[in-house]
């Protein structure tokens, strides 16, 4: 069987875990951009609005959900910008959160602001997970965009 290769155009943020884990922040194939789970880090890879954790690494409270969610959308926009795209190009998002109530309380206003619309034209799924990559991380969002 002959192998068929596809052209992949990748982008990164330049944060340490890209090399440690071994992945691209986004991959464009044809007119589709697949954006890996984005989180609330700054340019150096520090979590913006880290959740307080106990000695075992368990999240003590989720009050920074809004801060983390806003930064996560900013990071997604940054990676989309590198392709000449915006959040308006997003057709699907999946939000992974550590607390449904905390996320649902802020998601509507944060998402509407991020997408610049009272009813963003994007399919969206919100899922709860007990833990994300970093103990102080409350949210991660993956995206699919078309250009």
Predicted TM-score (pTM) of this structure: 0.95
Count of Cβ atoms closer than 10 Å to residue 58 Cβ: 13
Domain residue spans of the chain? 37-142
8 A C-beta contact, residue 83 and residue 92: no
Tell me the average confidence (pLDDT) per consecutive run of 10 residues in the chain, 147 residues long.
Answer: 90 91 95 98 95 96 98 98 98 98 98 97 97 97 98
What's the CA gap between 116 and 69, in Å, rounded? 15
In this structure, are residues 94 and 142 in contact, taking their beta carbons and an 8 Å threshold? yes
pLDDT number for residue 52:
97
Strand 9-11 vs strand 32-38: parallel, antiparallel, or unpaired?
A: unpaired
Does the 37-142 domain belong in CATH 3.40.50.2000?
no
């Amino acid at each position: 069987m002959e192998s068929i290769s596809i052209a992949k155009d990748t982008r990164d943020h330049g944060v340490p875990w890209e090399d440690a884990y071994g992945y691209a922040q986004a991959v464009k194939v044809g007119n589709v951009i697949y954006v890996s789970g984005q989180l609330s880090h700054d340019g150096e890879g520090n979590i913006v609005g880290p959740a307080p954790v106990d000695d075992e690494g368990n999240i003590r409270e989720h009050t920074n959900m809004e801060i983390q969610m806003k930064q996560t959308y900013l990071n997604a926009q940054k990676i989309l910008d590198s392709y000449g795209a915006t959040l308006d190009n997003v057709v699907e998002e999946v939000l992974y959160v550590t607390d449904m109530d905390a996320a649902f309380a802020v998601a509507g206003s944060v998402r509407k602001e991020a997408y610049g619309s009272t009813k963003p034209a994007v399919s969206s799924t919100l899922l709860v997970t007990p833990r994300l990559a970093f103990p102080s991380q409350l949210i991660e969002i993956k995206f699919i965009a078309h250009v």
